[in-house]
Amino acid sequence: MATVSTPPIDHAKSIFADLGYTVSGDGEEFRAERKWRVVRVTAVTDSDDTPDDGDLRCFVAWDEQASELRNRLRRADPEYEWAVIGVEDGGDYEVLRAPPSPASAV
């Protein structure tokens, strides 16, 4: 089982590097860049704090915390596009996407 108090930083960087992104930055937040897209990636644990700014954001959490994080983000309804990646200790992961915005349904 994953250590819940330690964010999955190495897994997050590995996932984005494997997807062809250039990863830069240290700590629990970094930038992942590919072509025109820049994603601010935050590796999180059980913190209630989510950033208020950005255009594209991805939160990477341990699998057992990912659904709750997605629910918190849905309730907060931030202005930016977001996704949550739930990571298992072995490295497998699942992407939990944000609900479509009303503007994109038009």
**30-86 pLDDT, tens per residue?**
999 999 999 999 999 766 677 778 889 999 999 999 999 999 999 888 989 999 999
Residue 17 to residues 30, 80, 82, 94, Cα–Cα distance (Å): 12, 22, 18, 16
27: left (phi over 0), alpha (psi -120 to 50) or beta: left
- Cα distance between residue 93 and residue 80, in whole Å: 22
- Cα distance between residue 52 and residue 25, in whole Å: 20
Q: Are 50 and 73 in contact (CB under 8 A)?
A: yes
Q: Per-residue pLDDT for 101 more than 70? A: no
* In this structure, CATH architecture of domain 9-99: 3-Layer(aba) Sandwich (3.40)
Number of Cβ within a 10 Å radius of residue 106? 5
- Cα distance between residue 93 and residue 10, in whole Å: 13
Residue 32: per-residue pLDDT: 97
Identity of the residue numbered 81: E
